Chain A
């Protein structure tokens, strides 16, 4: 399985690989990514500490910002784009995300119900 034995024709991209760009373009990509990431981070920290916004919206805003920032990282640092060559990488990512979503969401949902119906030992103690 050596590199030479494979036809160079395949249009596959490795995860993290960029399509052929000049060094300048690539550096620019990282600069933009870094700037966006810092901006989103700053916004998160600002929102978490401020009294200026409606308080109940803060958790939602933080989650949204976090997801946005993860997206920025994926696109600018890990170079997972949705171009046709990247389908396989993105599909794997989608499967991973689905599982993460199911596990975290499922756990939170299930455990909330269990806690409501059958609280852990020390909570029962406290209720008595």
Chain B
């Protein structure tokens, strides 16, 4: 890395104050890709924040329908949460495996991640189906509207994640750990971890606060 400083200065200036660090030039593709995806994730989180805000505003508007504490089942949520946390872990294992080009552990990690994601989705789907069957669908009240949208939006993201995950497995199968494949795996991992962060918000704000209230 080039440092330009007036020569005399450099010594009298051990902390490099007043030193202009020359920009070294364009970053590598890996960094560029991941950074772009990072920016995308931030924008996705802003989108989630709108649904959170809507939930905060509408959560009291039950219009004579059920309140959160009447319909939330903590046990299910706990299982869902554990699934997602474990899947984040296994996803991390899969990325390490990809980095050291170990196919076996990569497939294993991704498969477990996928299964955990699917379990999460099944539980969520059954919760939704059950609510709708009891007449507590999203059209029942503004509260349920906000609840279904926020949780469902996260669920849709997880579904998209599962689709992506399977595509990535197929791609490693077909193409091996090519540089571009590795970059995509890195983005996928970021995506999956970010969804977990959103879920932390969901279970805290929606389920736990909702049943505490």
Contacts and interface: CB of A to CB of B under 8 A. Distances in A.
A58 B212 contact: yes
Given A6-B27, A15-B38, A30-B92, A107 B56 contact: yes
A8 to B, nearest CB: 8
Contacts of A34: 85-86, 88-89
Contacts, number: 159
A92 interface: yes
Question: DSSP class of B's interface residues: helix, strand, loop or mixed?
Answer: helix
In this complex, the interface size class of chain A, counting residues with CB under 8 Å from chain B, is 35 or more
B133 interface: no
B157 to A, nearest CB: 15
In the A-B complex, the 5 residue pairs with the closest CB atoms? A14-B34, A96-B42, A66-B204, A15-B38, A107-B53
Given A16-B190, A63-B204, A88 B96 contact: no
Interface in A30-71: 30-31, 33-34, 37-38, 41, 44-45, 47-49, 58-59, 62-63, 65-66, 69-70
Interface stretch (B44-52, B114-122, B147-155): B44-52
Interface of A: 1-3, 6-17, 23, 26-27, 30-31, 33-34, 37-38, 41, 44-45, 47-49, 58-59, 62-63, 65-66, 69-70, 73-74, 77-78, 88-89, 92-93, 95-96, 99-100, 103-104, 107-108, 111, 120, 122
Given A14-B35, A108-B53, A122-B63, A45 B193 contact: no
A54 to B, nearest CB: 12
Given A34-B88, A48-B208, A12 B197 contact: no
Question: DSSP class of A's interface residues: helix, strand, loop or mixed?
Answer: helix
Given A2-B29, A93-B42, A96-B45, A104 B35 contact: no
Contact of B28 (A10, A44, A65, A78): A10
Nearest to B38: A15
B14 interface: no
Contacts of A122: 63
Contact of A9 (B1, B34, B35, B196): B1
A105 B49 CA distance: 10
B81 A41 contact: yes
B190 A62 contact: no
In this complex, the interface size class of chain B, counting residues with CB under 8 Å from chain A, is 35 or more
Given A30-B93, A70-B197, A73-B197, A100 B46 contact: yes
Nearest to B42: A96
Given A1-B29, A48-B212, A66 B193 contact: no
B163 interface: no
B205 A66 contact: yes
Contacts of B54: 107
A74 B197 contact: yes
21 contacts: A1-B26, A3-B28, A3-B30, A6-B27, A11-B1, A17-B31, A26-B96, A31-B89, A38-B82, A41-B200, A45-B208, A48-B74, A59-B212, A59-B213, A62-B205, A62-B209, A66-B205, A70-B200, A73-B88, A103-B50, A122-B63
